[in-house]
């Protein structure tokens, strides 16, 4: 509940360009309305669109949300959201809808700030109950606390994916098809799911401790820049397992880069079409078996020249040794391949590999990381006189964390479930140049690769003194951040570790100790010792609490009198690919300050993301998809992904058909070329299909039974249940695609809240009527809002929560995408049938002369949208495929080591 303010509408003129903008005048101050089409009622919006003189001087009421005027209506009138803002759900879109901008987009997820929590002594009296304390308990009714029942109506605003995951059908491509979760023929919504939704929202608005935050103790990794790989030194773990042998070839350790500098490792020609088959010394299918083998090689020096596009000339940049003959160690290499030693001719717009006269014989070890990106052409041979360094425990631990981070970033089926015809492909096999089809690096799948053993090959990074600071499995690799996500989560926000210090969400919804002392208990029962942290009697501290709230049974009714489902015959509707969370993408997940979870400054270097002085952005939230046309969810079986509606929006929730071979865009250049037949539907292990969803307008009813809640604890709950008609909670699956916007209302007839003293009088005399009456629910909600603002000035978590719950009708919500250069600039970028959202992240991290070109961070929930980046330069008419960028990858995260 926000404080209502009063002002007058007026116009602010801009003589320099002749434009003007609508403002609200409060005394002598004028404040601009950033989104009049969104913040004005229908009547006032129509006057604004017509630039009517009647608008000038009109007295209005409005609310201030993070210093911005919202919900502007005529003075004395209630707020009614503009027509169409519900997203085609509860409120029909009969009026004009806002045109979306074609140059920006809203990310499917944002964050509600998680701020450091003040100690109880530093909170003002009205906010004291936001601090940690022991819960009141259930054993008695406390006289001044609230107990009773709250009736709730939850109305479906956008289709709800309530799916029966246990009965899913999976085909031979790993594609799952899901039907609705039913009980007695109607949609079944488990009370535990409702409680989960409410708890997440309650945690966010009360800025409570995180209920769960496990698995985030190890540092994450990020992909280093290509230039950083040039300084890597090939290394081999010594026979003793305690030392490293740095193998620098013929170059001195720590050489300066330059056109005459020779790379440490020799290049082993490996992969067509970059090398003709007659010059490939070891067939690609046999290469994985050569990894780590000791070999004798004959080498030829090659000068590499890069093509400079600006000057249109070749420029020498480095040298390397090329393997021209190879044999297992102990045998003499045969004569060098003539094709690998003959002179080459420079060609414009391509690198030039100039063969020099220098030759060298050596003994070394073959390093094979497989054809793990589309333009890879060589493997490596490590050789040279060893330079010994210590293999420290820290280097070992960091290596294990790094390899495990690699593995955690991908699903089991991504590596082990790929198919080549009728058989399962091996992880190292090359299936194509697209992401997911290239070969996987061996450390991603090789058993035991996460532990360094004698003879293992790796790359070392050295400091200025020549000491090894980190080890990597490939030359251009991920590297670990300095701090883990847990390090960046303020101690006051970490899960409670003792029963006497529970935050509001823990007290109301329940709590479980994240590190159960059950193992200590077993030790104690065996007579070894008393459990750590136990009291004088040896009793184990309490490690769980049931909470003060219970969700009653959920019932469903359809306004149409049927089961409330829209059903889709046959194979159902193929949904768009859902992105996998990528917390290592620091520009989205990390905040620029430890005290305020604001975005990282643009162009912040990667190494400074997860580092001291930073914090996490907060709790993830999914913006409501506002401003959708009334027919947006109609005929979902039709592929309308490339056809914009009248507002410039596309069918974002459906996966486009497969693109035809050789075509990227339509003939009119206003969309991607896609197929039209059933055979061209894209149904694989990256997406899912549904055969039904709960139709908008359906209503779920349930009760919340509460016991011994303080006024502030109850007020926070009421604040969540009393949102205006244009604010929505998000529930169920597919939230990034717009599914599951739900509006909650309190049902007064089934709400009975009394203080403990009232209930005691009632039980004492067995009267039929409850003594007293329900509290003033809006007042309790407003008191909570005031308490939050007193504890955290400006209440940024409430502003962000409301911004996400309301959405922005002027911006399309979808995963990041780039604009192909050939696409008509007048249209928004439609969904890419290739699903390459990672290209946006590649472009966002693009560097030029060591400086980021863009490097923008995820804006606040109520901030400006993200820009659509241009696609990378293409060869042959289609975007360049860059393997394994740092952006979200499709599908749910799975750990291959658990399967």
94 falls in which pLDDT band (50, 70, 90)? very low
Assess contact for 531 and 524: CB atoms under 8 A. yes
Lookup: tokens for 100? 């979306």
Residue whose token pair is 């080549």: 420
- The DSSP H or E segment spanning 733 is none
Number of domains making up the chain: 3
How, if at all, do strands 741-755 and 146-156 pair?
A: antiparallel
Nearest CA-CA partner of 389 in 278, 522, 520, 237:
237
What single DSSP character describes residue 805? H
Q: Give Cα separations from 193 to 82, 381, 732, 866 (angstroms).
A: 31, 55, 8, 32
- Asked if 552 and 638 sit in the same domain, the reply is yes
Residue 498 lies in a domain: no
Least-confidence region, from 432-436, 523-527, 631-635, 866-870:
523-527
Joined tokens for residue 869 = 């980046």
Last residue of a domain, one of 478, 497, 530: 478
Domain shared by 196 and 69, yes or no: no
If you count them, how many residues does the chain have? Answer: 899
Mean pLDDT of 301-312: 92
Instruction: Label the pairing between strands 866-867 and 741-755.
Output: unpaired
Question: How far apart, in whole angstroms, are the C-alpha atoms of residue 786 and residue 797?
Answer: 13
Winning range, highest mean pLDDT, from 256-260, 442-446, 663-667, 874-878: 442-446
Q: What angle do CA 830, 834, 836 make, to 5 degrees?
A: 85
Biggest distance spanned by C-alpha atoms of the chain: 107
Check: CB of residue 390 under 8 Å from CB of residue 243: yes
pLDDT at 877: 40
Quickly state the pLDDT bin for 344 (edges 50, 70, 90): confident
164 vs 714: CA distance, rounded Å: 33
Q: Based on the fold, state whether residues 263 and 185 are members of the same structural domain.
A: no
Confidence (pLDDT) at 49: 82
The confidence score (pLDDT) of residue 872 equals 79
Structure tokens at 228: 């950083």
Beta bridge partner(s), residue 668: none
HSE (side-chain half, CA atoms, 13 Å) at 509: 25
What is the pLDDT, as a whole number, of residue 228? Answer: 73
Q: Do the Cβ atoms of 206 and 115 come closer than 8 Å?
A: no
Q: What are phi and psi of 256, to 5 degrees?
A: -80, 140
| Distance, CA of 456 to CA of 550 (rounded, Å) | 55
Q: What stretches of 155-286 show up as alpha helix (H) in DSSP?
A: 191-206, 226-229
Least confident of 527-531, 587-591, 627-631, 871-875: 527-531
Q: For position 523, what pLDDT does the model report?
A: 40
Would you say 114 and 493 are in contact if contact means Cβ atoms under 8 Å apart? Answer: yes
Residues 829, 648: Cα–Cα separation, whole Å:
9
Token pair 């409570």: residue: 208
Taking only Cα atoms into account, the Rg of the chain, rounded to an integer number of angstroms, comes to 31
* pLDDT confidence of residue 12: 86
When pLDDT is cut at 50, 70 and 90, the band that residue 835 belongs to is confident
Q: What is the pLDDT of residue 435?
A: 77
* Residue 217: burial class (beta carbons within 10 Å; 0-12, 13-18, 19+): exposed
| Band (98; pLDDT cuts 50, 70, 90) | low
Are both 152 and 282 inside the same structural domain?
A: no
641 contacts 674 by C-beta, under 8 angstroms: yes
> Is position 168 within any domain?
yes
Same domain, 449 and 330: yes
C-alpha 554/C-alpha 551 separation (Å) is 8
348-373 pLDDT, tens digit per residue, is 888 999 999 999 999 999 999 999 98
Question: How far apart are alpha carbons 61 and 8 in whole angstroms?
Answer: 9
State yes or no: pLDDT of 306 exceeds 70: yes
- Token digits for 560? 């149409």
Q: Give yes or no for a contact between 30 and 23, defined as CB atoms under 8 angstroms apart.
A: yes
- Band (892; pLDDT cuts 50, 70, 90): very low
Co-location of 107 and 27 in the same domain: no
Cα 787 from Cα 780, distance rounded (Å): 11
For range 72-100, the mean pLDDT: 62
Each residue of 700-721: pLDDT tens digit? Answer: 999 999 999 999 999 999 999 9
Is 716 buried (19+), middle (13-18) or exposed (0-12) by CB count in 10 A? buried
Q: Where are the beta strands (DSSP E) in 554-632?
A: 555-557, 565-567, 573-574, 590-591, 615-616, 619-621
Contact 315, 305 (CB under 8 A): yes
The arithmetic mean of pLDDT across residues 581-595, rounded, is: 90
Task: Match 């995951």 to its residue by tokens.
Answer: 165
CA atoms within 13 A on the CB side of 235: 35
* Residue 454 domain-assigned (yes or no): yes
Q: Does 88 score more than 70 pLDDT?
A: no
Residue 104 C-beta-side C-alpha neighbours within 13 Å = 15
Token pair listed for 820: 């192909």
pLDDT bin (cut points 50, 70, 90) of residue 342 is: confident
pTM, entire model:
0.80
Same domain, 167 and 276: no
Are 577 and 715 within one domain? yes
What pLDDT shows up at residue 584?
85
In a domain, 493, yes or no: no
Two structure tokens written together for 604: 């912040």
C-beta atoms surrounding 729 within 10 Å: 23
The 8-class DSSP code of residue 243 comes to: E
Q: Are 185 and 567 in contact (CB under 8 A)?
A: no
Give residue 769's pLDDT band: very low, low, confident or very high (50, 70, 90). confident
Mean pLDDT value across residues 601-626: 95
- The answer as to whether 527 is a domain residue is no
Name the residue range of residue 571's domain. 102-116+145-208+548-899
Tens digit of each residue's pLDDT (9 = 90 or more) over 393-452: 999 999 999 999 899 888 888 899 898 888 999 999 999 988 788 999 999 999 999 999
Please check whether residue 408 is in contact with residue 217, taking contact to mean a CB–CB distance below 8 angstroms.
no
How much is the pLDDT for 879? 41
Mean pLDDT of 270-286: 83
The answer to whether residue 494 is domain-embedded is no
Strand partners, 233: 460
Contacts of 99 (CB under 8 A, 6+ apart): 647, 648, 810
Rounded to the nearest integer, the mean pLDDT of the chain is 88
Chain center to CA of 574: 22
325 C-beta neighbours (distance < 10 Å), count: 19
Beta bridge partners of 544: 512
The band of 662, judged by pLDDT with boundaries at 50, 70 and 90, is: confident
With a pLDDT cut of 90, the percent of the chain lying above it is 66
Phi, psi of 633 (to 5 degrees): -95, 5
Residue 132 included in any domain: no
Out of 418, 447, 478, a domain closes at 478
Q: Any idea which of 272-276, 564-568, 694-698 has the lowest mean pLDDT? A: 272-276
| Whether pLDDT at 847 is above 50 | yes
Greater confidence (41 vs 771) lies with 41
**235 plus 198 within the same structural domain:** no
How much is the average pLDDT of 734-757?
96
Could you report the per-residue pLDDT of 142-157, keeping only the tens digit for each?
Answer: 999 999 999 999 999 9
With a cut of 60, say whether residue 785 has pLDDT above it. Answer: yes
DSSP per position, 307-326: EETTTTEEEEEEEEEEEEEE
Regarding whether 706 and 747 lie in a shared domain, the answer is yes
| pLDDT tens for each residue of 468-500 | 999 999 998 888 899 999 999 999 999 999 999
Sheet strands (E) in 560-662: 565-567, 573-574, 590-591, 615-616, 619-621
User: Cβ distance 690 to 572 under 8 Å?
Assistant: yes
Contact 115, 796 (CB under 8 A): yes
In terms of Cβ atoms closer than 10 Å to its own Cβ (0-12, 13-18, 19+), residue 627 is buried
| Final residue of a structural domain among 442, 458, 478 | 478
| 649 pLDDT above the threshold of 50 | yes
- Euclidean distance between CA atoms 115 and 483, whole angstroms: 19
Do 70 and 107 lie in one domain? The reply is no
For 324-462, where are the alpha helices, taking DSSP H only? 338-341, 393-408, 412-416
Considering only CA atoms, which of 347, 333, 348 is closest in space to residue 300? 333
Burial of 229 (0-12, 13-18, 19+ CB in 10 A): middle
Statement: residue 515 has pLDDT above 70: yes
Listed in sequence order, the DSSP H helices in 682-728 are: 711-721
Confidence category of residue 51, pLDDT binned at 50, 70, 90: confident
The verdict on residue 213 lying in a domain is: no
End-to-end Cα spacing for the chain: 49
CA distance 439 to 250: 30
The answer to whether residues 169 and 31 belong to one domain is no
Closest CA to 803 of 239, 67, 286, 49: 67
Output the six-digit token pair for 644. Answer: 């914009």
Q: What is the pLDDT at residue 525? A: 37
Q: 711-721 vs 191-206: helix axis angle to the nearest 10?
A: 110
């Amino acid at each position: 509940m926000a404080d209502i303010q009063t002002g007058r509408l007026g116009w602010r003129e801009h003589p320099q360009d002749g434009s003007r903008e609508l403002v609200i005048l409060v005394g002598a101050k004028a404040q601009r309305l950033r989104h009049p089409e969104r913040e004005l009622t229908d009547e006032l919006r129509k006057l604004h669109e017509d630039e009517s003189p009647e608008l000038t001087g009109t007295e209005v009421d409005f609310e201030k949300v993070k210093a911005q005027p919202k919900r502007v209506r005529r003075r004395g009138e209630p707020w009614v959201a503009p027509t169409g803002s519900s997203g085609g759900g509860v409120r029909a879109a009969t009026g004009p809808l806002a045109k979306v901008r074609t140059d920006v987009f809203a990310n499917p997820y944002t964050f509600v700030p998680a701020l450091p929590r003040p100690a109880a002594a530093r909170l003002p009296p009205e906010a004291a109950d936001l601090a940690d304390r022991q819960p009141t308990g259930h054993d008695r009714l406390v006289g001044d606390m609230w107990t009773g029942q709250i009736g709730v109506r939850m109305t479906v605003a956008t289709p709800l994916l309530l799916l029966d995951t246990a009965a899913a059908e999976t085909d031979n491509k790993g594609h799952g098809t899901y039907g609705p979760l039913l009980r007695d023929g109607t949609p079944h919504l488990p009370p535990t799911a409702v409680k989960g939704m409410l708890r997440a929202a309650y945690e966010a608005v009360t800025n409570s401790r995180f209920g769960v935050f496990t698995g985030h103790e190890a540092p994450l990794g990020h992909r280093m820049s290509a230039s950083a790989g040039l300084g890597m030194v090939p290394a081999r773990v010594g026979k003793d397992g305690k030392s490293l042998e740095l193998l620098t070839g013929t170059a001195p350790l720590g050489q300066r880069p330059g056109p005459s500098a020779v790379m440490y490792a020799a290049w082993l020609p490996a992969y067509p079409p970059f090398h003709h088959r007659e010059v490939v010394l070891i067939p690609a299918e046999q290469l994985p078996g050569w990894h780590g083998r000791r070999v004798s090689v004959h080498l030829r020096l090659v000068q590499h020249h890069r093509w400079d596009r600006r000057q249109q000339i070749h420029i020498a940049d480095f040298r390397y040794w090329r393997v021209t003959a190879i044999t297992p160690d102990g045998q003499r290499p045969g004569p060098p391949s003539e094709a690998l030693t003959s002179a080459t001719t420079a060609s414009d717009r391509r690198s030039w590999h100039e063969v020099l006269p220098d030759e060298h014989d050596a003994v070394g070890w073959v390093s094979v990381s497989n054809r793990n990106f589309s333009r890879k052409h060589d493997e490596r041979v490590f050789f040279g006189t060893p330079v010994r360094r210590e293999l420290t425990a820290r280097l070992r631990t960091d290596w294990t964390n790094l390899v495990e981070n690699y593995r955690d970033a991908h699903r089991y089926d991504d590596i082990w479930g790929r198919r080549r015809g009728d058989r399962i492909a091996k992880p190292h096999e090359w299936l194509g140049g697209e992401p997911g089809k290239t070969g996987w690096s061996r450390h991603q799948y090789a058993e035991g690769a996460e532990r360094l053993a004698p003879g293992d090959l790796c790359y070392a990074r050295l400091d200025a003194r020549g000491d090894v600071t980190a080890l990597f499995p490939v030359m251009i690799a991920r590297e670990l951040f300095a701090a883990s996500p847990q390090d960046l989560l303020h101690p006051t926000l970490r899960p409670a570790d003792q029963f006497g210090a529970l935050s509001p969400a823990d007290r109301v919804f329940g709590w479980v100790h994240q590190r159960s002392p059950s193992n200590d208990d077993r030790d104690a029962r065996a007579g070894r010792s008393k459990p750590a942290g136990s009291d004088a009697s040896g009793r184990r501290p309490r490690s769980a609490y049931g909470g003060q709230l219970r969700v009653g049974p959920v019932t469903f009714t359809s306004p149409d009198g049927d089961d409330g489902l829209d059903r889709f015959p046959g194979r159902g509707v193929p949904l768009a690919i859902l992105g996998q969370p990528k917390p290592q993408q620091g520009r989205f997940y990390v905040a620029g300050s430890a005290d305020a979870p604001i975005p990282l400054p643009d162009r912040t270097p990667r190494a400074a993301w997860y580092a001291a002085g930073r914090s996490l952005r907060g709790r993830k939230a999914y913006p409501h998809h506002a401003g959708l046309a009334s027919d947006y969810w109609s005929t979902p079986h039709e592929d309308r992904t490339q056809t914009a509606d009248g507002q410039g929006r596309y069918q974002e929730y459906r996966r486009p058909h497969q693109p035809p071979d050789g075509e990227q865009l339509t003939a009119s250049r206003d969309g991607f070329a896609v197929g039209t037949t059933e055979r061209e539907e894209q149904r694989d292990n990256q997406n899912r299909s549904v055969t039904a969803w709960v139709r908008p307008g359906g209503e779920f009813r349930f009760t919340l039974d509460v016991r011994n809640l303080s006024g502030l604890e109850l007020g926070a709950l009421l604040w969540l249940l009393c949102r205006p008609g244009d604010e929505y909670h998000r529930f169920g699956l597919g939230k990034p695609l717009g599914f599951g916007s739900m509006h909650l209302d309190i049902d007064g007839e089934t709400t009975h809240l009394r203080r403990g003293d009232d209930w005691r009088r009632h039980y004492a005399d067995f009267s039929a009527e409850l003594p007293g009456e329900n509290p003033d629910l809006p007042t309790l909600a407003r008191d909570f809002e005031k308490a939050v603002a007193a504890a955290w000035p400006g209440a940024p978590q409430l502003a962000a929560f409301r911004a996400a719950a309301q959405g922005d009708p002027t911006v399309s919500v979808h995963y990041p995408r780039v604009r192909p250069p050939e696409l008509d600039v007048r249209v928004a970028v439609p969904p890419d049938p290739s699903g390459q959202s990672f290209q946006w992240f590649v472009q966002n991290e693009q560097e030029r002369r060591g400086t980021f070109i863009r490097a923008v961070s995820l804006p606040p929930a109520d901030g400006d949208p993200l820009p659509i980046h241009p696609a990378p330069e293409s060869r042959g008419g289609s975007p360049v495929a860059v393997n394994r960028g740092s952006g979200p990858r499709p599908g749910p995260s799975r750990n291959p080591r658990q399967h």
